[in-house]
Amino acid sequence: MAARAPRRDGAEDRQPARAGEPLVLQLVPMRRRHLRGVLRIEAQVYPRPWSLSLFMSELALRTTRAYHVARLRGAVVGYSGLMLNGEDAHVTTIAVDPAWHHYGIGTHLMLNMARIARERGARNMTLEVRVSNKAAQALYYRFGFHPAGIRKNYYVETNEDALVMWAKDIDTGSYKRRLAGIESTLDGVALLEGPTS
């Protein structure tokens, strides 16, 4: 999740109307109709955003991919992607609209991916993160990820190295309890359970 100042082109309209107003987050499988919102966020948070065609090709790989969007009041405010390969699950992307940082949306997306990985038989999760992105690394540490190496100049647009992180044994009862513990700390945004659209 890249940190940038919120945009002033209507981003205020996406904020809560008044203090204490309950926010209800809905996580749904990413569909083509969500891609306009996804691409808007992608362009805000990444120096080299994914294209529409790349997202479309990822969505076509239904058996080995799991992409979801986070919606508030019908608007896409975040998204995540997971690639599944045997016992390993790879986080391909995760981003939250900068206007909605610090509401726990990234945590909800990570919880969702970890649970999907477990359901689909993964024993480990991995990801790459910019070495300078300490906020994202802090989130990943909460989920049991630990550094496993460096990929030099992985982010070619900025010549920045990637920190490779792994979370092992996600199929265990102790990891399930870790997820439940993380979920119990979330407040401010409630997750809507029920039908997806």
- pLDDT, tens only, 5-59: 333 334 434 554 445 667 899 999 999 999 999 999 999 999 889 999 999 999 9
Q: Which of 67, 79, 103, 140 is catalytic?
A: 140
Whether 38 is covered by a domain: the verdict is: yes
pLDDT at 194 over 80: no
Whether 10 is covered by a domain: the verdict is: no
Average pLDDT value for the chain: 88
pLDDT at 150 over 80: yes
**Which amino acid is it at 191?**
L
Q: How many domains does the chain have?
A: 1
Q: Which of 42, 58, 79, 128 is catalytic?
A: 128
**Which amino acid is it at 56?**
M
140 in active site: yes
State the burial class of residue 83 (Cβ atoms within 10 Å of its Cβ: 0-12, 13-18, 19+). Answer: middle
Look up the CATH number of the domain holding residue 80: 3.40.630.30
Longest dimension (CA), the chain: 46
128 in active site: yes
pLDDT at 191: 76
Express each pLDDT in 114-140 by its tens digit: 999 999 999 999 999 999 999 999 999
Instruction: List the structure tokens of 53.
Output: 């065609």
